[in-house]
Amino acid sequence: MSKSFLIEKLTTDLGMTRAQANRALQIVEGCTAASLQVSGKATIPGIGTLRIEQREAREGRNPRTGAKIKIAARKAVSFSASSDLKSHAQKCKVAA
């Protein structure tokens, strides 16, 4: 799913203009980012939960040369799907 698909869906289903739909998505993105900054967690009902996780520093390999490299510690966002989303996924038909 792309941002343009979501904007198109909002315009057809809710009768919004493209500018209004784009602004609505920007508000959702902003609220999610703000929640992550404040509490380290953002729950979107019916979809899932985003959390900030600390990734430890580790050693990796350059795939081209095989040389060892150091990968720095960093923060990353992880996603956990809600039970509603998981049940919908079970009903989906996916072409192999």
pLDDT tens profile 71-85: 999 999 999 999 999
Confidence (pTM): 0.73
Inter-residue contact 48 to 82 (CB < 8 Å): yes
Estimate the crossing angle of helix 18-39 against helix 3-14, to 10 degrees: 120
CB 78 within 8 A of CB 54: no
Secondary structure (3-state) at 68: strand
Start-to-end C-alpha separation, the chain: 18
Q: What is the pLDDT of residue 42?
A: 95
Please list the ranges in the chain whose pLDDT falls under 70: 95-96
**pLDDT at res. 50:** 96
Q: Please tell me the predicted confidence (pLDDT) of residue 69.
A: 95
Rounded Cα distance, 11 and 7, in Å? 6
- Residue 96 has a pLDDT of 59
